[in-house]
């Protein structure tokens, strides 16, 4: 649908071009008129030409007001466009002579009435063109003034007042119980400030929400405004920063002036790190505009002026880059960490997003929450939305576990590369690699549960193994980390034992394992070097940190760190080798089943380990083996089914 405002703007944009077109047409008209030669004759000259039969055309206009005839005409020998003009006395005798000459010499004679005798025609002919020019000039000048007005508003605040009738409340925010408790005081203050003032309590002027992306920081700020039922201004940190120094500071001043007029109210600044970075840092020195804007924000929050009834809520994913002056008491007094939800929080979030979705019988939100550790609120919403889209694409009435599994894979790894072709040798390598991860996960006591194994390529991976912790922990033990490294090395170990050859498929596993091992030695104190921290998390060069990183240990200790890392990796590799050799039959069973089915779920893996075979196949194509699917495809005369993978055959069967 096209907006009416856009239509009006488009019409205004055409006015200058229309005005220019009129000018061009007028110029051409006058040039054309000037190019026509007009000869002025006297009465006697005209009468002589008339008697000598030199006239070929006459046009007579009666001018009653002037008591004359205005005569225009063409004489013999005139060029194209050339005419003569003469005034004759207004009398019957003159008109009689003209008519007799026309009858005698047979030239064209046209007689017209005087148009000037009509007042309406006089207005149209004389006033209307001038009126059109005045209107066009007014429109052009008003357009210019509107542009100047917008330039005068350059320093005005870009903060918008949220006038949504569909208010967000705490009922729309799930999984953030402690965070909501922290913010309830703000709501009580905005509703009843006298209750706090009686006891001399000062409500926090600013609340900083920080945490990973997608955890609900913006939603939480909207819910506070909705619960308090007060004006809610929202703006992004980047809206303050402009090319010219001082513009951002002017916008900050204007924003607080608007907020004072509507106090009590809330101001929400999203991505405050865009304007609140530490001053005087970085390789290129300071940033004058951003620093001026930050200085003004600091002054407005806790300076000489009082901003009673105004509470600022800011959100960022990077609290480490903020200026310390922003975080001191009196400015952002309260800092609330919005972490990734735990299993209970994920269940509540899924409940909110599943309200308008039809889930198949047997699907419980509690089980879905256990299968999605590390997912943010935004990830969970995307997960259910992707599952719903897949169900619609497959013409299903409800969302089944098959769609949820596929949606989980899409969120984590991206869509499956169904059209990707690789050789049977590659498929076998990937199958044994992923089976090696699965065997380690099944046999280690403290290892994570194997939820899914697949050899269908996604993203940059030829296959992957989804492993979920048996229970979520705040801290990891040394045993947990060692078993995690062992699990990561399971794929390479399976390749070595089965094929006597190694591939490049384990490069990502090595990256993760090396990182864990180095952290154990240099950060966690989990090595023979003792409880010492040799390194810290690296900072950002552009904040002026770690450009010339000081080394807190000698070269001898650096060598010992390398030796300890190598020892940890070698011990884990040795442990993985022992487990794989003891369970070669299980490795082969899982790998051969993967080659047949391409994807195995937790339930199928558990049944396979216990019974040595897959459960009975039902009518669900997803649960069938590749061999059976190819047989069905052959019976239905699907060409090249023997060369298709499982996903391609299912797609053809569903047509």
Full DSSP string of 381-431 = HHHHHHHHHHHHHTT-SSB-HHHHHHHHHHHHH-SB-TT----HHHHHHHH
pLDDT at position 578, please? Answer: 94
The pLDDT of residue 312 is above 50: yes
Residues 530-557, buried b or exposed e (16+ Cβ, 10 A)?
eeeebeeeeeeeebebeeeeeeeeeeee
The pLDDT of residue 395 is above 70: yes
Rounded CA gap, 512 and 556, in Å? Answer: 25
* Range among 305-309, 550-554, 600-604 rated most confident: 600-604
- pLDDT band at residue 97 under the 50/70/90 scheme: confident
* 14-23 pLDDT per residue, tens: 666 666 667 7
Rounded CA gap, 579 and 108, in Å? Answer: 119
Helix H or strand E encompassing 576:
helix 555-582
Arithmetic mean of pLDDT over the chain: 78
Rounded CA gap, 8 and 644, in Å? Answer: 57
The pLDDT of residue 516 is above 60: yes
pLDDT at position 549, please? Answer: 47
Given CA atoms 195, 201, 203, 205 in this order, what sign does their dihedral have? positive
Rounded CA gap, 647 and 653, in Å? Answer: 10
Q: 3-class secondary structure for 189-213?
A: HHHCHHHHHHCCCCCCCEEEEECCC
DSSP, collapsed to helix, strand or coil, labels residue 264 as: coil
DSSP, collapsed to helix, strand or coil, labels residue 161 as: strand
Q: What is the DSSP string of 437-475?
A: HHHHHHH-TTSPEEEEEE-S-BTTBS-EEEEE-SS--SS
pLDDT at position 453, please? Answer: 86
Of 289, 386, 403, 434, catalytic: 434
Rounded CA gap, 267 and 320, in Å? Answer: 22
pLDDT above 90 covers what percent of the chain?
11
Of 121-125, 313-317, 329-333, the range with the lowest mean pLDDT is 121-125
pLDDT at position 497, please? Answer: 93
pLDDT at position 363, please? Answer: 85
* 20-55 pLDDT per residue, tens: 667 766 655 555 555 556 778 887 888 888 888 888
pLDDT at position 2, please? Answer: 43
pLDDT at position 220, please? Answer: 87
Helix H or strand E encompassing 86:
strand 83-89
DSSP, collapsed to helix, strand or coil, labels residue 69 as: strand
User: Alpha-carbon Rg of the chain, whole angstroms?
Assistant: 43
The pLDDT of residue 145 is above 60: no
pLDDT at position 642, please? Answer: 66
The pLDDT of residue 565 is above 50: yes
Respond yes or no: is residue 434 known to be catalytic: yes
* 273-300 pLDDT per residue, tens: 888 888 766 544 456 777 788 888 888 8
Supply φ then ψ for residue 464, to 5 degrees. Answer: -155, 160
DSSP, collapsed to helix, strand or coil, labels residue 525 as: coil
| Alpha-helical segments (H) within 241-353 | 247-261, 288-302, 343-353
Distances (CA, A) of 501 to 172, 277, 433, 493, 494: 54, 51, 12, 10, 10
* pTM of this structure: 0.65
Q: Is the peptide bond before 153 cis (omega within 30 degrees of 0)?
A: no
Higher pLDDT, 232 or 568: 568
């Amino acid at each position: 649908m096209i907006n009416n405002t856009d239509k009006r703007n488009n019409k205004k944009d055409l006015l200058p071009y229309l005005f220019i077109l009129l000018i061009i047409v007028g110029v051409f008209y006058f040039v054309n008129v000037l190019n026509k030669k007009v000869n002025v004759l006297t009465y006697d000259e005209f009468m002589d030409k008339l008697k000598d039969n030199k006239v070929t055309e006459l046009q007579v206009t009666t001018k009653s007001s002037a008591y004359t005839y205005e005569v225009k005409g063409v004489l013999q020998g005139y060029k194209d466009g050339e005419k003569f003009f003469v005034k004759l006395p207004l009398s019957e005798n003159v008109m009689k002579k003209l008519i007799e000459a026309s009858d005698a010499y047979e030239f064209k004679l046209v007689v017209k009435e005087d148009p000037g005798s009509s007042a309406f025609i006089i207005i149209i002919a004389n006033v209307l063109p001038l009126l059109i020019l005045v209107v066009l000039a007014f429109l052009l000048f008003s357009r210019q003034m509107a542009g100047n007005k917008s330039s005068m508003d350059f320093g005005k605040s870009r903060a918008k007042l949220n006038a949504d009738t569909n208010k967000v409340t705490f009922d729309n925010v799930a999984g953030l119980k402690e965070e909501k408790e922290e913010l309830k005081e703000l709501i009580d203050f905005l509703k009843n400030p006298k209750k706090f003032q009686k006891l001399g309590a000062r409500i926090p002027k600013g609340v900083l929400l920080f945490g990973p992306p997608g955890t609900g920081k913006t939603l939480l700020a909207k819910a506070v405004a909705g619960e308090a039922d007060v004006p809610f201004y929202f703006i992004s940190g980047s809206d303050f920063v402009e090319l010219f120094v001082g513009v951002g500071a002017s916008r900050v001043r204007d924003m607080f002036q608007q907020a004072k007029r509507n106090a009590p109210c809330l101001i929400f600044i999203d991505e405050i790190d865009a304007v609140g970075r530490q001053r005087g840092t970085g390789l290129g020195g300071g940033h004058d505009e951003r620093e001026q804007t930050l200085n003004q924000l600091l002054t407005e929050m806790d300076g000489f002026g009082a901003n009673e009834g105004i509470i600022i809520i800011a959100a960022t994913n990077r609290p480490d880059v903020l200026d310390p002056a922003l975080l001191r008491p009196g400015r952002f007094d309260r800092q609330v960490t919005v972490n990734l939800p735990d299993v209970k929080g994920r269940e509540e979030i899924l409940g909110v997003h599943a309200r308008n979705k039809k889930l198949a019988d047997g699907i419980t939100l509690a089980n879905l929450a256990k299968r999605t550790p590390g997912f943010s609120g935004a990830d969970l919403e995307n997960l259910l939305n992707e599952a719903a889209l897949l169900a619609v694409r497959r013409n299903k009435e409800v969302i089944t576990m098959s769609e949820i599994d596929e949606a989980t894979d899409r969120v984590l790894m991206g869509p499956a590369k169904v059209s990707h072709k690789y050789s049977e040798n590659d498929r076998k390598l990937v199958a044994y690699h992923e089976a090696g991860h699965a065997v380690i996960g099944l046999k280690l006591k403290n290892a994570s549960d194997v939820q899914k194994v697949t050899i269908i390529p996604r993203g940059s991976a030829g296959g992957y193994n989804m492993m979920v912790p048996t229970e979520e922990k705040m801290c990891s033990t040394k045993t947990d980390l060692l078993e995690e490294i062992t699990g990561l090395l399971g794929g390479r170990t399976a390749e070595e034992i089965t094929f006597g050859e190694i591939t490049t498929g384990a490069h990502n596993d090595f990256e993760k394992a090396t990182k864990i091992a180095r952290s154990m030695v240099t950060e966690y104190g989990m090595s023979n070097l003792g409880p010492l921290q040799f390194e810290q998390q690296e900072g950002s060069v552009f904040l002026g940190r770690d450009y010339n990183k000081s080394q807190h240990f000698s070269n001898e200790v650096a060598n010992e760190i390398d030796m300890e890392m190598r020892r940890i990796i070698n011990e884990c590799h040795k442990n993985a080798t022992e487990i794989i050799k003891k369970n070669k039959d299980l490795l082969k069973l899982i790998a051969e089943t993967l080659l047949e089915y391409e994807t195995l779920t937790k339930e199928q893996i558990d049944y396979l380990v216990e019974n040595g075979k897959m459960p009975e196949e039902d009518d669900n194509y997803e649960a069938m083996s590749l061999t059976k699917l190819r047989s069905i495809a052959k019976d239905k005369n699907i060409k090249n089914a023997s060369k298709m993978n499982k996903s391609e055959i299912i797609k053809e069967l569903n047509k």
